A and B are shown apart, each in its own frame.
Chain A
Amino acid sequence: ETGVTQTPRHLVMGMTNKKSLKCEQHLGHNAMYWYKQSAKKPLELMFVYSLEERVENNSVPSRFSPECPNSSHLFLHLHTLQPEDSALYLCASSHAGVGYTFGSGTRLTVV
């Protein structure tokens, strides 16, 4: 257990479904991140929240919608996804860019 917990661990969803990924950190960090990891590709940064404000959105399609209600929780809302969105979605947290810690990820399969 790293202190960053992601649920669910696995998710299979149809292209017309709406689902949400959840991330929770108990490290007292003030920044949280979503990354996408596809097979044989580097981790791709999707969203950055610092002090609960979204700082960066790396041109991610609008079918991915993040939400950060407080410094300990981060969500990724998914709707009308495509099969190419199947990947491992990783959440991380840090304290002002230091002490980066990752969760175990949600393995998403879009059918």
Chain B
Amino acid sequence: GESVGLHLPTLSVQEGDNSIINCAYSNSASDYFIWYKQESGKGPQFIIDIRSNMDKRQGQRVTVLLNKTVKHLSLQIAATQPGDSAVYFCAENINQAGTALIFGKGTTLSVSS
């Protein structure tokens, strides 16, 4: 069954605002998490990942926060742009060979200019 989920199916923001997309996971053994972006007609694209021994990781305009106490993951996008409009998925994995990523439902981010 599904072990990863997102809190909101849709999020609408204005261009230039900061966006926060949330995700809850249920498998305490998960030790590797990834955020993906999927644009229409394309496969999921890697955005940023984080291991369970970290609680924050920053990339270019994106930050992932991990709270293992409450099993919560979030993706922050700074200065959101129209090109950020897509569906965002979080995924979890127990980092062992032979296991696979489990995905949540996804949040559709719409950015208006």
Interface residues of A (CB under 8 A from B): 2, 4, 6, 30-31, 33, 35, 41-43, 45, 48, 50-51, 55-56, 90, 92, 96-98, 100-105
Q: A42-B89, A43-B89, A98-B32 are in contact. Are A105 and B98 (CB under 8 A)?
A: no
- Check if B98 sits within 8 Å of A48, measured CB to CB: yes
- Check if A96 sits within 8 Å of B97, measured CB to CB: yes
Q: What secondary structure prevails in chain A residues at the interface with B?
A: strand
* Cβ-defined partner of A97 (8 Å) among B2, B93, B104, B106: B93
Top 7 closest pairs, chain A to chain B, by CB: A102-B43, A55-B98, A43-B103, A50-B98, A96-B97, A42-B103, A104-B43
Known: A42-B106, A50-B98. 13 other contacts (CB 8 A): A42-B2, A42-B89, A42-B105, A43-B44, A45-B102, A50-B97, A51-B97, A90-B44, A92-B43, A97-B93, A100-B46, A100-B93, A105-B43
- Check if B44 sits within 8 Å of A33, measured CB to CB: no
Residues of A within 8 A of B41 (CB): 104
